[in-house]
Amino acid sequence: MLEQAGRKKRVLVIIFCQADFPCMEWHESGVDGIAVMKKKIGFAAAIALVALAILSTRYYEVGLPLWHFLGGGKGPDPAALHLRGEFVESNLGAAEGPEGSLTVRMIAQQYVFVPQCIIVPAGVPVRFRITSADAVHMLSFLGTDYGLKAVPGTVTEANFTFSKPGEFKIPCHEFCGAGHYAMRGQLDVVPQDQFSSLRPGERRTCEPR
Ligand code: CUA
What tens digit of pLDDT does each residue of 107-157 get? 999 999 999 999 999 999 999 999 999 999 999 999 899 999 999 999 999
Quote the ligand 1 centre to 32 CA distance (angstroms). 53
| Lowest mean pLDDT across 70-74, 154-158, 198-202 | 70-74
| Closest atom, ligand 1, to C-alpha of 175 | 2
pTM for the whole structure: 0.65
Contacts 24+ apart (CB under 8 A), 190-198: 190/119, 190/120, 190/121, 190/122, 190/165, 191/121, 191/122, 191/165, 192/121, 192/122, 192/123, 192/124, 194/121, 195/119, 195/120, 195/121, 196/121, 198/119
Atom of ligand 1 nearest to the CA of 135: 1
Of ligand 1's listed atoms, the one at least distance from the Cα of 173 is 2
Report the nearest-CA residue for atom 1 of ligand 1: 137
